[in-house]
Structure 1
Amino acid sequence: DYLDQEQPDIFCIQESKAHKEQLASEILEDHGYRTYWHSGIKKGYSGVATFCKKEPLYVQEGLGIEKYDVEGRVLLTEHEDFLLYNIYFPNGQKDEIRLKYKLDFYDDLLPIINDQVESGNNVIVTGDWNTAHHPIDLARPKENINTSGFMPVEREKLDEYVAKGWVDTFRLFHEEGERYSWWTYRFGARERNVGWRIDYFFVNEGMADICIDADIHDEILGSDHCPVSLVLDF
């Protein structure tokens, strides 16, 4: 319903938990979109999908780094005016091994996208980043200072992206707090708006001037996340 009503030019999904062959044809073919999928080897885990009204110039599954690509975390699509990375960033909550994996992912992605910008491309990086950057980005920052998703070591990784010129587009248009994109299913968190803002559109600095709107659509139900959007004017 959301897709039919809003009709975005491009629609990105993270944690799809599905392989393309498992899905009904109407999901893949209806709505007027071409669909692209990168699924993990493990069934029912991770995965990303990008729906495009106009066929991309190029599609790449993964980063070319095996330890990430086996989990189905990245889809790169090339469009006329920009490159789009649709990414499901790792969650570090399980243990120290997964936290290191998450931090390594941030470290390994940054030079890849920086190289794309240095080569003259405009780049959008969107998805579930699995980290709230600042205290304003979650309802209970003090209580979660040692929780993966808001640990200083994770937030510092986002600082590194910003230091390299990457722009959190939502904050170009919204300075207010209490705007979140994810809520746990427990404790009535969504009804009480006890959430986290962990879903972002980051763009290279040169794209900031053509961003004309970015928003969070927390009225849309159906998941523990809600859609976030970015509107560009070329």
Structure 2
Amino acid sequence: MKCISWNVNGIRAVLKKDFIEILYALDADIFCIQETKAQEDQIEIDCELYPYQYKYSAQRKGYSGTMILCKEKPLSIKYGIHNEVHDTEGRVIALEFESFYVITVYTPNSGDGLKRLDYRMEWDQAFSQYLDSFDKPILLCGDLNVANEEIDIKNPKTNRRNAGFTDEERDSFKKNILIHLKDSYRTLYPDKVEYSWWSYRFKAREKNAGWRIDYWLVSDELMDKVKDSKILTDIYGSDHCPVELDIEI
């Protein structure tokens, strides 16, 4: 089974580019999308590969939002993390299949000047409790807005107090998220240096001055079923590139 996750930074914008062609070229069984930045009635993806499409938009227009496209109908669909404090921004969709769940998440960014860092810490704790509620193994993907280790960011020293690489966020990621799940890419490739996000400023992608903040995380019992975990750096259209999980399940 091939699974793709991509923060598209605006679904309406990428639909005007080559998004449909990319869907066909990648031909994933499950395609997860973050940061749709659109209301549900503004999103129409005409792709015969995906008869089942699930959208979860933020209350605030043009902000956040997630989506999952899949070839097979899931057993159930869950929107949000069942926490009214955190369920206004369309950040989480979970699909249940026979032997596992697929969850896509767009984790809150701590913001300029870390103005949302406290909220981010609260989110991580609430999301950890949410992960505890599942009764089947999990495949979790998305823009988790944290570079876990120094190898996951081009300039760790100069970014130490920037959103996505603070000690608080990295410690919280380990304590609240990685306690449940394994980082499939880093488990397979402990020393590989690749990134999944680049700022639009300073020709960052051209210089490959990036961050690895997009992940496929899997339950421990599924890690031995993972055949590959890839970062598709040759695909453009957003400030993020897609990440892929190949798993026999």
CA distance change for structure 1 residues 32 and 109 in 2, over 3 Å: closer, same or farther? closer
Aligned to 2:76: 58
Could you tell me how far apart the structure 2 residues matched to 1:113 and 1:134 are?
Answer: 22
Identity %: 37
Residue pair 2:114, 2:162 contacting (<8 A) in 1 also? no
Residue pair 1:183, 1:224 contacting (<8 A) in 2 also? yes
Q: C-alpha displacement at 1:162, in angstroms?
A: 6.2
Q: C-alpha displacement at 1:85, in angstroms?
A: 1.2
Aligned to 1:143: 158
Q: Give the alignment's TM-score, normalised by structure 2.
A: 0.87
Aligned to 1:21: 41
Give the AA of the match of 1:84.
Answer: V
RMSD: 1.5
Could you tell me how far apart the structure 1 residues matched to 2:176 and 2:123 are?
Answer: 13
Could you tell me how far apart the structure 2 residues matched to 1:28 and 1:56 are?
Answer: 20
Aligned to 1:5: 25
Aligned to 1:220: 235
Higher relative contact order (CA closer than 8 Å, sequence separation 6+) = 2
Q: For 2:49, what is the secondary structure of its paired residue?
A: helix
Mean alpha-carbon deviation: is it higher for 175-184 or for 220-229?
A: 175-184
Residue 131 (structure 1) aligned to one of 125, 146, 170: 146
Q: For 1:112, what is the secondary structure of its paired residue?
A: helix
CA distance change for structure 1 residues 186 and 21 in 2, over 3 Å: closer, same or farther? same
5+ residue gaps, structure 2, are 1-20
5+ residue gaps, structure 1, are none
Residue 35 (structure 1) aligned to one of 47, 53, 58: 53
Could you tell me how far apart the structure 2 residues matched to 1:208 and 1:2 are?
Answer: 27
Q: Tell me which protein shows more helix as a share of its residues.
A: 1
Runs of 4+ in 1 over 6 A off after TM superposition: none
Pairs aligned (count): 229
Q: Deviations over 1:77-100 (max 9, x none)?
A: 101221111100000023555111
